[in-house]
Amino acid sequence: MTRVTLLLTSLFINSSAMAHGGEDTRHDGVILQEGTDYETCYIDFHSELTQKQYREFNSEWGSAYAFTPQSGPTVLGTGNVQFSGVLRSVAIDDGKDSWNNTWTHPTADHWLGPVQLPILSARVGLTPALDIETMFSFGNANWAIGGVGLRHTLLTQDDDMPLDLSLREHVQVTRGGSAWANVSVGADVSVGRTFELGTRLITATPYLAAGASSGLGIESDDDVDLKNAISFSPRATAGLELAVGPARLGIEGSVADINQYAFHVGASF
């Protein structure tokens, strides 16, 4: 487990250092909103933000930062736990008014995207067919994401059933400083099959998931006066989880209005 710990530490130290992109020549003529409250980009609504741009920002946020499965559909079982570190990457088009007017940057050429978001997650088996899971992000200027979910077994892989199938419901909350909050609820269905790689101690689980979430954006910035925004974000997800004894490694990608992909490493006990 020492190697897993070292990998997690390296992963999150490096991700915090590269959390935001830098110079971007795709948006010639776009002038970034600048400020010095933080050393990196931070959420800060500006007076130029319109209601239409605010709705678009909330909708794209729901796609970019959805609480995805992050593992195969198999539940852990009563009393078992799993801890993971996740590094999620999202390509943001921050030259758009909906993003430029909701963020402030430390310099005129310090662009947001692509954003590398470090996440810690944990899952606990409550019953043979039910897990509870949680996640939270860290390492960002004035914003953070937290979520909690339940995962239910619908089908269990065995000699007569070739697949695992699970249903997951989740709630996620984003807080962006004093300017904004977003609360979303969602669900997804995952299907997968586990293959032994020569021994029961080494397995691979490819999986697919389909789901959606609905969010409510609540603005509280003194510089604007906007109505709450409701969003709906469908997505499709594919992933692969590798288990080597208690260690877990995985990759995952989601297709939505804004695509995302993630790498995770952890351990299950």
User: Is cis: bond before 118, omega within 30 of 0?
Assistant: no
Beta bridge partners of 172: 147, 184
pLDDT of residue 1: 44
CA end-to-end span of the chain, whole Å? 12
**Residues sharing a CB contact under 8 Å with residue 171, sequence separation 6 or more, in sequence order:** 147, 148, 149, 183, 184, 185
> Do the beta carbons of residue 224 and residue 204 sit within 8 Å?
no
Of the candidates 82, 66, 208, the one whose C-alpha atom is nearest the C-alpha of residue 137 is 66
pLDDT of residue 72: 93
pLDDT of residue 66: 92
> Do the beta carbons of residue 35 and residue 44 sit within 8 Å?
yes
Query: pTM for the full model?
Result: 0.87
Write the CA distances from 205 to 77, 79, 108, 220, 229, integer angstroms.
Answer: 17, 22, 44, 43, 38
> Do the beta carbons of residue 166 and residue 188 sit within 8 Å?
no
pLDDT of residue 18: 41
Of the candidates 243, 153, 160, 237, the one whose C-alpha atom is nearest the C-alpha of residue 194 is 243
For the chain, 269 residues long, the average pLDDT of each consecutive 10-residue run is 46 46 59 90 94 96 92 95 95 89 91 87 97 91 95 96 97 94 98 95 97 96 94 97 97 95 96
pLDDT of residue 26: 55
pLDDT of residue 139: 74
> Do the beta carbons of residue 141 and residue 44 sit within 8 Å?
no
Can you tell me the distance from the alpha carbon of 262 to that of 246, in angstroms, rounded to the nearest whole number? 20
Of the candidates 153, 148, 135, 188, the one whose C-alpha atom is nearest the C-alpha of residue 75 is 153
Q: CATH code at 55?
A: 2.40.128
pLDDT of residue 20: 55
DSSP 8-state secondary structure symbol assigned to residue 2: H
Can you tell me the distance from the alpha carbon of 120 to that of 264, in angstroms, rounded to the nearest whole number? 9
Can you tell me the distance from the alpha carbon of 259 to that of 92, in angstroms, rounded to the nearest whole number? 9
Q: pLDDT tens digits for 180-214? A: 999 999 999 999 999 999 999 999 999 999 999 99
Can you tell me the distance from the alpha carbon of 254 to that of 233, in angstroms, rounded to the nearest whole number? 12
Q: Which residues of 225-261 are buried (b: 16+ CB within 10 A; e: fewer)?
A: ebeebebebbbebebebebeeebbbbebebebebebb
Number of domains in the chain: 1
Quote the domain boundaries for residue 192: 2-268
Can you tell me the distance from the alpha carbon of 83 to that of 246, in angstroms, rounded to the nearest whole number? 11
